[in-house]
Amino acid sequence: MILTTHPENLVLETFTAKVLQAYWVDVDGNGTTKLPYGDDTIRIFVKTEDAIDKEITVQVWYNRTGIDRMHKEFSKTITTDEVIYDFLCTPEFFGPNLDGNNIKEFYLYIKIGKGKFRYYSEKEDDRLRIHAVRFIPNVMQHLGWTNALNAQNTWFNAPAETTEDANVQTSFVSMDWILGYSKALIDYQNIINSEWDSPNYHQSLRDEVAKMITYIPISGNPIATLPTVEGVIGNKPFGDFSLNIVSDSNTGKTLPLVEQFYYKSFPYSFSVFDDLNDLFGTLGKFNFRLAAKGFLSIENETVYINVTKIGVYVRDSFDFTNSGFPDQDLGNWNFINKTVDKNLISSNYSIENSDYQRLRTHHNKGGDFRIYSDVKEVSIPEAGILKITLL
């Protein structure tokens, strides 16, 4: 019973309003514990009884390590027995990192009028789980990390997949963009000025040209043919820098044609002293690949490889797989201020590979993929042509 006063009299009113159900729903009104990437609206289904024209108060609480914390409260006048209330899942709602958890689980605390608050969706399996990594693309967009944002959107929107070669991307990045970063440019210049013709790689080059000779394309011309006639008239071209997707003759994996026959790989890694930028967000650690073009000649029954062009491109896996221990650090992110740094002592969210893995497990979304840049060709001056025997 509640006591209601009026100017002329005092009456007792029976309080029968109640909340029958309250739980999280998706855009179609189905019960859920997920907030999919790309959907920034949190929805709460509430079913009441005898509550029309009364005020309902909804609190959203975070099941925090230590002391739970209320993240949002709102009040509405009930106009129908069944309703879906919604609000945006903003970085401000998600809040700072106060307990080191990169997944926040939310439950509901609801009352009607002056009645008592009661818990809803408080059991672990009923809570709404929101992953911190969903806010990273927002920061990248703010920072102008165009390619990193494109890669993140591709990963988040793809079905769960851990085989990078199942999805090959050849238009994400260009060599010109990569070489706009000074450290990458230094590595590239070292490759084309001093590394490409190193005797250390001659045998690898021989092996790749031999593969070209035996390679049978599904369509088009052979990549290399053995010469049979001496002199310029008998020279046969070899090499192909094409990004056309083919199936690897040994593994069956899909890859660009040029990747079939590269002869040297040069790793590129970020250090703790490097800036966090679009290159870091898009590629992280990657590899420069080196391929060759030229012609095969025959002299005194000996076949020679003559390299007249080299091609340099980048290959990377956009994935969140740890090759060992520890978990790979992906920076410390402030979603409200839209910043990222390497400061481990802060209230930012320290993101690691495993955070993306957990989102993939929960949502069954998040597809790893392979990135190849275009190929930057460099012509070798006639005086610098590399000439080595095929065998």
DSSP assignment, residue 98? S
Q: What is the pLDDT of residues 339-365, one digit of tens each?
A: 999 876 677 999 999 999 999 999 999
The residues near 155 (Cβ < 8 Å, ≥ 6 apart) are 318, 356, 366, 367, 368, 369
Percentage above 70 pLDDT, the chain: 94
Query: Structural domain boundaries of the chain?
Result: 2-134, 158-319+368-389
Q: What is the pLDDT of residues 207-230, one digit of tens each?
A: 999 999 999 887 677 899 999 999
Lowest-confidence region among 34-48, 175-189, 199-213, 335-349: 335-349
Lowest-confidence region among 27-41, 140-154, 177-191, 245-259: 245-259
Confidence of residue 14 (pLDDT cuts 50, 70, 90): very low
pLDDT at residue 9 tops 50: no
Identify the pLDDT of residue 1: 30
What number is the average pLDDT over the span 244-252?
82
DSSP assignment, residue 380? P
pLDDT at residue 250 tops 80: no
The two structure tokens encoding residue 324: 């060992």
pLDDT at residue 301 tops 50: yes
pLDDT at residue 337 tops 90: yes
Confidence of residue 4 (pLDDT cuts 50, 70, 90): very low
What does the H/E/C string look like for 251-295?
Answer: CCCEEEHHHHHCCEEEEECCCCCCCCCHHHHHCCCEEEEEEEEEE
CB 29 within 8 A of CB 85: no
Identify the pLDDT of residue 344: 67
Radius of gyration (C-alpha) of the chain in whole angstroms: 31
pLDDT at residue 272 tops 80: no
Confidence of residue 390 (pLDDT cuts 50, 70, 90): very high
Lowest-confidence region among 204-208, 230-234, 285-289: 230-234
CB 350 within 8 A of CB 197: no
pLDDT at residue 368 tops 50: yes
Please state the φ and ψ torsions of residue 309, each to the nearest 5 degrees.
Answer: -145, 145
Task: Detail the DSSP E strand segments found in 300-385.
Answer: 302-318, 329-334, 339-341, 349-352, 369-372, 376-379
Percentage above 90 pLDDT, the chain: 80
Confidence of residue 12 (pLDDT cuts 50, 70, 90): very low
Q: What is the pLDDT of residues 85-127, one digit of tens each?
A: 999 999 999 999 988 899 999 999 999 999 999 999 999 999 9
> For all residues of the chain together, what is the average pLDDT?
91
User: How many C-beta atoms surround the C-beta of residue 178 within 10 A?
Assistant: 25
pLDDT at residue 5 tops 70: no
For residue 22, what is the enclosing H or E element?
strand 18-25
Lowest-confidence region among 3-7, 113-117, 167-171: 3-7
CB 310 within 8 A of CB 379: no
Checking phi first, is residue 144 left (phi over 0); if not, alpha (psi -120 to 50) or beta? left
Question: What residue type is 52 in one-letter code?
Answer: I
Identify the pLDDT of residue 325: 65
C-alpha span between 311 and 242 (Å, rounded): 10
CATH class of 2-134: mainly beta
What number is the average pLDDT over the span 129-155?
97
Identify the pLDDT of residue 132: 97
CB 23 within 8 A of CB 31: yes
The residues near 253 (Cβ < 8 Å, ≥ 6 apart) are 165, 247
The full length of the chain comes to: 391
DSSP one-letter string for 168-213: EESSS--HHHHTTSHHHHHHHHHIIIIITT-GGGHHHHHHHHHHHH
